[in-house]
Structures are given as C-alpha cells and as structure tokens.
Amino acid sequence: MHLLMCPPTYCDVSYEINPWMHLSIRPDRSLAQKQWDDLYRIITQTIGARVSLVEPHPDVPDMVFTANAGLVEGSLYIPSTFKYEERRLEASYFREWFDSHGYLARELAVGPFEGEGDALRLGDILLAGFGPRTVRASHAGLSAAVNRRVVSLGLVDGRYYHLDVCLAVLNPNELIYFPEAFDDASMAVLHDLPVETIAISQSDADHFGANAVVLGKDVIINLGATDLAASLSERGYRVHRTDLSEFVKAGGSAKCLTLTLQPA
Ligand code: ARG
C-alpha cells in the first residue's frame, strides 16, 4: 500500500465551496500540522504503509486534500478537473508530481471529475459519485480509462458533497455508507451489489466517519465517529481514532488527506 499526501503548511479556509467551510472559522495551522503529523505517523509507523509527499503551495489551501488530485490505476493517472475555480490551480501542481514520478496521465474528455473523492474501488468495480461536484457524464470516460465497470451513485445532500464523505469500502465484501446522502435510485443500486452494506448514523456521518482510510484490517477515522469506531472494532478491525478537527473546518478528514497510489 502506497499513498500520496501533502503537508498542511498552507491549509486554510479562505473561500467557501462546501457547507462546512466558513470564512469566520479558520483552522489553527500549528494544530493542523500536529494533527496531520499524527495521521502520517499512524499510516507510516503504526500501520507501516508507504507515503509519498507532494510539495504544498501557498496559493492552494485545499491542496492538502490529495484525494482530489485524481485517480491512480497502476501507472495511469487520471487527473481531476475541479468544479470550482478556487481549486483549479492545484491541477498543474499535481500534474507536475505525477509527470516527474513516471505516471502516464490520461485526461477525461468530460468534467468536472474530482478524483478519488468521487471514485472508490470495490473489488474489480469502481463506485463513482456524481452530483455536487463530479458530473455523471464523466463516468463513461472514467470507466474506459481504467478499464473497470463503474457503478454511478447520485449524491443529494450538499454536506456530503463527495462520495468519500458518505461511503467507505472496508473490503470487497463490505462497505459503510450514510443512506441519507444518496438518491433513491442509488440506494437500490447499492443494495443490489453483492456486498454487505452497513449504514452509519447521522452523528457518525457528521463526524466524517465515512471518510475513513482503510488499509487492510486497519481503519483510521476522525475522533468523533464513536459508534462507528465501536462497530468496526466488533467486526475485527483495528480502529485508529485521531483528531482531525482543523481539516473538518474545510470539509475534510482522514480519507480526503490521502490518495491511493497502490491499493492495500
Ligand atoms: N475544501 C475542500 C473542497 O471543498 C475539501 C475537499 C475534501 N476532499 C474530499 N475528498 N472529500 O473541495
């Protein structure tokens, strides 16, 4: 397992592009650095996964959320096309990193597409969110590019604006999700999948419980998702709870801070 992260040197809330962001509630940068360091330490030392770093830039405060850099499949890099102007500058920084690390970039003809924030692997298939950010019309090109069947899931609540804030794949047979975030058709699609779908509570969802980093049996989640932490432990997962309060102010948590370069 190999992830990409970006140090939170310049993380901030300097615009509002999701309902969690308020210009009046800015992150404390030194606390953010400490929280990010803790997450990095859990991933690299406690769990022993590999992490590569991309250099942060002062003009892109959300670059810390590397899940939105794109989607990586082997040596193929599908760059994101961001919905909001405020994040579009990140694209060239991420592109530079992938170009200089031996990846072949393949751009989608249709966007916006916000990367792993809206595209999660479930065994051989790809669950892809659409609505608040990514457009459904990007999914066909995505499917062709990564050569996977894409299952499209419509998101209906602006608070859960990326798939990775309302769904996490635990393993090819098990996923957690927050039902209220999905439209009716997508709920039916989810229940038709040959996997166990585990609903999480509103409180766990609002504490970014679904925004979990899953590395085999190890699951890292934000501190407040207490019921979920207990039920994951009962299911035999090693749960690592860590405070990510400063990133929640920008509408993100554990999973958003990582991009999968090589799955577990
Ligand atoms: N402030 C960022 C945005 O609104 C947060 C991104 C969180 N990333 C994620 N994968 N959910 O775009």
Q: Catalytic one among 139, 162, 207, 240?
A: 162
* pLDDT tens track for 114-150: 999 999 999 999 999 999 999 999 999 999 999 999 9
Q: Are 223 and 207 in contact (CB under 8 A)?
A: yes
pLDDT of residue 76: 98
**What pLDDT sits at residue 141?**
98
Atom in ligand 1 nearest the alpha carbon of residue 116: 10
How far from the centroid of its chain's Cα atoms is residue 129's Cα? 11
Segment 194-233, tens digit of pLDDT: 999 999 999 999 999 999 999 999 999 999 999 999 999 9
Give the burial string for 99-115 (b: 16+ CB within 10 Å, else e): eeeebeeebbeebbbbb
Residue 143 alpha carbon to ligand 1 centre in Å: 23
Q: What are the extents of the domains in the chain?
A: 2-262
* Inter-residue contact 134 to 110 (CB < 8 Å): no
Phi first, then psi: what are they for 186, rounded to 5°? -70, -30
Find the residues whose C-beta lies inside 6 A of ligand 1. 17-18, 21, 62, 65, 67-68, 87, 117, 162, 164-165, 250-252, 256
Of ligand 1's atoms, which has the minimum distance to the CA of residue 21?
A: 1
Give the per-residue pLDDT at 264. 81
Please list the alpha-helical segments (H only) found in the chain: 29-41, 85-88, 90-99, 139-146, 184-192, 202-206, 226-234, 245-248
* Statement: residue 261 has pLDDT above 90: yes
**Mean pLDDT rounded to a whole number for the chain:** 98
Tokens standing for residue 125: 């298939």
Task: Give the architecture (CATH level 2) of 2-262.
Answer: 5-stranded Propeller (3.75)
Percent of the chain with pLDDT over 90: 100
Has 256 been annotated as catalytic?
A: yes
